[in-house]
Amino acid sequence: MSNSAAAERRLFIGTSGWNYKNWKEDFYQGVPQKRWLQHYAAQFDSVEVNATFYRQLKEDTYRKWMRETPESFFFAIKGTRFVTHVKRLKDPEESVLKQRDNVAPLFPRLCAVIWQLPATLQKDADRLRDFARALSRNWSRTPHAVEFRHDSWFDEEVARILAEHDLANCLSDAPDWPMWDRVTSDLAYVRLHGQTELYRSEYSEKDLARWAAQARDWLDQGKTVSIYFDNTDGNHAFRNALRLREMLS
């Protein structure tokens, strides 16, 4: 991991985002919206930030998040869509540097960056290799994961590129795209988007038990495990995350 505090932590469980109005009368019942992050951080040890995918936030926003959360709380962020969806991994260096510098206030508690590729982007080993090299040159102190949403990427050449640059393959569970269950680095990064209905469906006790068993196996192998629930459109993500944390406690 990128710092000694993160290195001591090997399991992160949370949700993809925390600021959801549909959680107001349930998870945040009686909590003013300005205190939602503080409330969330009292229940979980990590969150995956979606906003960084869409736009560059003010550095003061990151500093505010750091002040509002305990030192034991960590952030994963989504890499900018300008790299993954606009430029589609082509010539990534300048944009990688720009985002790295922008999120610098989070560095003491930045546990990972997740780069989500579009489902229309098929395998291009040269582009992936150039992207991996840009991360290695410019942002190697933070772990990175890549979420592939087209199965043309699921092969040994891609696995080698990821492994050579210490990049994690994201295990991405969803009904609308396939999941590659290959682990390519010391980070096992999982995004659970909803198994039967994208962003909405609930994970059953059996589903959660299966992921808990897999997480224990990775932890026994000495890996860091990051699991984020993205079934946030309903009120299932925080419940599923709390239950999985309970199973692994």
Q: What is the pLDDT of residues 114-132, one digit of tens each?
A: 999 999 999 999 999 999 9
pLDDT, residue 9, reads 62
Domains and CATH numbers, the chain: 4-247 (3.20.20.410)
The per-residue pLDDT for 3 is 45
pLDDT at 217: 97
Q: What is the mean pLDDT of residues 51-72?
A: 97
Q: How far apart are CA 215 and CA 171, in angstroms?
A: 12
Q: What angle do CA 112, 246, 170 make, to 5 degrees?
A: 30
Is-contact 14 48, C-beta < 8 A? yes
Decide: 94 and 126 in contact? Cβ < 8 Å.
no
The Cα–Cα gap between 13 and 216 comes to: 13
Q: What does the block give as tokens for 194? A: 């909803």
pLDDT category of residue 73 using cuts at 50, 70 and 90 = very high
pLDDT in tens, 89-110: 999 999 999 999 999 999 999 9
Amino acid at 17: G
Task: Give yes or no for a contact between 17 and 232, defined as CB atoms under 8 angstroms apart.
Answer: yes
pLDDT in tens, 210-233: 999 999 999 999 999 999 999 999
The answer to whether the CB of 165 falls within 8 A of the CB of 136 is yes
DSSP 142-174: S-EEEE--SGGG-SHHHHHHHHHTTEEEEEEE-
On the question of pLDDT at 71 being above 50, the answer is yes
pLDDT given at position 140: 96
Q: Determine the length of the chain.
A: 249
pLDDT tens digit sequence for 167-213: 999 999 999 999 999 999 999 999 999 999 999 999 999 999 999 99
Distance CA 236, CA 202 (A): 5
pLDDT of 7: 47
pLDDT of residue 234: 83
2-55 pLDDT, tens digit per residue, is 444 454 569 999 999 999 999 999 999 999 999 999 999 999 999 999 999 999
Amino acid at 156: E
* Predicted local confidence at residue 8, as pLDDT: 58
